[in-house]
Amino acid sequence: MIEFFHTKDRLRFLLFVGAIAVPILAVSAWVVSRMETSAAAEGEPNDKGGLHYRIQEKSGAKALPPALAGLIPVPPNTAMTDVSADTDGAGRLTSASIKAFSTDDFKTVAGFHRPTLAPVTDDTATTLAGVRYGYDIKILQESKFFDNDPYKDRTKIEYYVNPTKK
């Protein structure tokens, strides 16, 4: 195989093919990646007959899934970087988890959400939980940071949303 490239003409041909193929492959990979990201943000069918949403955006989700948007307002100075939500066949939220990073401390973020929860069921220095529109919402300050976390210098907050059990 290596003997094939011993002449300058054959080596030039290989470089010519590479110069054409590499940009085409790079653009194709970028297009496929954008399409997959877009499809995940718009929702993909799940086993409950509804949709599964997965948004991972370092700078923060531009928009939350429709079932989640009216339920969890985004606090100022906060980027929701990892959103995972599932809906049933009727479009009702069945579960959601969100990882967010804020330049504010947890007390400020909890103060933003506290008026929207009625009743508040748990309120500590690192936890706020309550009910809103028939959903249990739990907001936690997370102290563990992982290698793939985009911001290590901010307050890490996790949201968990589930329908209220009757």
Q: Say what the pTM is.
A: 0.74
User: What pLDDT, in 10s, does the model give residues 77-119?
Assistant: 999 999 999 999 888 999 999 999 999 999 999 999 999 999 9
| Residue at token pair 């929860």 | 117
Q: If pLDDT is split at 50, 70 and 90, which confidence band does 141 have?
A: very high
Q: What angle do CA 56, 62, 67 make, to 5 degrees?
A: 85
State the average pLDDT over residues 18-29: 87
Q: Which sign does the torsion angle of CA 26, 31, 35, 41 carry?
A: positive
User: What pLDDT, in 10s, does the model give residues 63-81?
Assistant: 888 889 889 999 999 999 9
Q: If pLDDT is split at 50, 70 and 90, which confidence band does 34 have?
A: low
